[in-house]
């Protein structure tokens, strides 16, 4: 993580994602750190990132980070797994503030779970094509422990299903089966949800994995794990908001589609009162 100049504790946390899925991370942050102000940016004009080249993802991510930094945030949370997978190191090197991605916390939660299970557990990862191709999860797991092999599976149909609010029934079940089957065939002991959108499918993924494996398979959500890492960082650097009362949430998007309200509420768990449209400048 890059060294940072001092920033006021009362500044907001900046959180961004390719779209609205990163609101699952905001939800976890607000549960754990209710007093923190958060400014969230969803690059809805450019979503999805998961199918794009690493160079393009990095350009988009720089645009998002710069927009949030202009709002004097005290730390940057990359809620997007694809950006965390391909661009976190570059952003840390380039930016003068703490940068937290979702891959390392997700990998760490998976390793803890695998250690609890004991033995030669394999860790399964579901993610976008970009996240899987980057090899970021195997690298992150390998930095924590050499005991666990990682089996990663791209699950491209799951993002559009969640965007449609299609979280149960025959079609999502078939899609989830298609992606979870190779992980069960590889005998994974734990599955990491390596994409912002998948926490909404967690009950279905748990149920399908248990059915295919014949026993329950723990499913780890990187949103919860990331919120825990943000809390530790704020404590360590004495950056936690000292204010009493609930923090505010400001939501910015680069495009405001008609379906915004319903989709955003699905990810966040409650309605969003104010949303502003902004231009993300991409170099
Ligand atoms: N936010 C992306 C991720 O977590 C999923 C959506 C996309 O492909 O942009 O990887």
For 9-65, what is each residue's pLDDT tens digit?
A: 889 999 999 999 999 999 999 999 999 999 999 999 999 999 999 999 999 999 999
Distance 192 CA to ligand 1 centre (A): 15
Q: For residues 212 and 203, what is the distance between their CA atoms, to the nearest angstrom?
A: 14
Q: What is the pTM of this model?
A: 0.95
Within this chain, do residues 57 and 164 fall inside the same structural domain, yes or no?
no
Q: Is residue 4 part of a domain?
A: no
- 49 within a domain of the structure (yes/no): yes
Going along 131-248, which residue ranges are E strands? 150-154, 188-194, 219-221
Instruction: Tell me which H or E stretch contains 30.
Output: helix 23-32
- Among 15, 68, 88, 195, the active-site one is 195
Residue 5 lies in a domain: no
* Residue 128 sits in the same domain as residue 167: yes
112 and 181 in one domain?
yes
Q: Are residues 107 and 61 in the same domain?
A: no
Ligand 1 pocket test target in 44, 159, 201, 267 with most atoms within 8 Å of CB: 159
> Can you tell me which atom of ligand 1 is nearest the CA of 50?
8
Is 220 a pocket residue for ligand 1 (Cβ < 6 Å)?
no
Are 79 and 210 members of one domain? Answer: no
pLDDT in tens, 161-187: 998 889 999 999 999 999 999 999 999
Under a CB-based contact definition with an 8 Å cutoff, are residues 137 and 125 in contact? yes
Residue 259: pLDDT band with limits 50, 70, 90: confident
Regarding the beta carbon of 11 and ligand 1, being less than 6 Å apart is answered: no
**Number of domain units in the chain:** 2
Is the distance from the beta carbon of residue 131 to the nearest atom of ligand 1 less than 6 Å?
Answer: yes
pLDDT bracket for residue 1 (50, 70, 90): very low
**Whether residue 64 lies in the annotated active site:** no
Which of 175, 200, 222 finishes a domain?
A: 222
pLDDT at 6: 65
Tell whether 36 and 89 lie within a shared domain: yes
Same domain, 88 and 34: yes
Residues 79 and 37 in one domain: yes
3-class SS of residue 189: strand
Q: What percent of the chain has pLDDT over 90?
A: 88
The response to whether residue 138 sits with its C-beta less than 6 Å from ligand 1 reads no
- Cα–Cα distance for residue pair 68/38, rounded to 1 Å: 11
Q: Domain containing 173: what range?
A: 103-222
Q: Which helix (H) or strand (E) holds 78?
A: strand 75-78
φ, ψ dihedrals at 153, nearest 5°: -130, 120
CATH no. for residue 253?
A: 3.40.50.1860
């Amino acid at each position: 993580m890059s060294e940072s100049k001092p920033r006021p504790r009362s500044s907001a946390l900046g959180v961004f994602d390719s779209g609205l899925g990163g609101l699952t991370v905001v939800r976890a942050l607000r549960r754990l750190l209710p007093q923190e102000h958060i400014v969230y940016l969803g690059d809805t004009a450019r979503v999805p990132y998961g199918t794009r080249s690493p160079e393009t993802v990095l350009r988009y991510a720089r645009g998002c980070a710069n927009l949030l930094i202009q709002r004097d945030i005290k730390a940057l949370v990359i809620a997007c797994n694809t950006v965390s997978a391909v661009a976190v190191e570059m952003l840390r090197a380039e930016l003068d503030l703490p940068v937290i991605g979702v891959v390392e916390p997700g990998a760490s939660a998976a390793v803890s779970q695998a250690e609890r299970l004991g033995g030669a557990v394999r860790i399964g990862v579901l993610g976008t094509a970009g996240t899987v191709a980057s090899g970021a999860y195997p690298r992150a797991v390998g930095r924590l422990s050499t005991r666990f092999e990682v089996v990663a599976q791209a699950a491209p149909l799951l993002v559009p299903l969640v965007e449609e609010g299609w979280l149960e029934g025959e079609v999502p079940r078939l899609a989830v089966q298609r992606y979870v089957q190779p992980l069960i065939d590889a005998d994974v002991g734990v599955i990491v949800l390596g994409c912002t959108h998948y926490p909404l499918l967690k009950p279905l993924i748990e149920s399908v994995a248990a059915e295919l494996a014949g026993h329950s398979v723990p499913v780890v959500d990187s949103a919860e794990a990331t919120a825990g890492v943000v809390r530790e960082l704020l404590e360590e650097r004495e950056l936690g908001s000292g204010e009493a009362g609930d923090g505010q949430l400001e939501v910015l998007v680069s495009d405001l589609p008609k379906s915004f309200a319903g989709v955003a509420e699905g990810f966040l768990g409650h309605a969003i009162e104010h949303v502003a449209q902004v231009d993300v400048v991409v170099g």
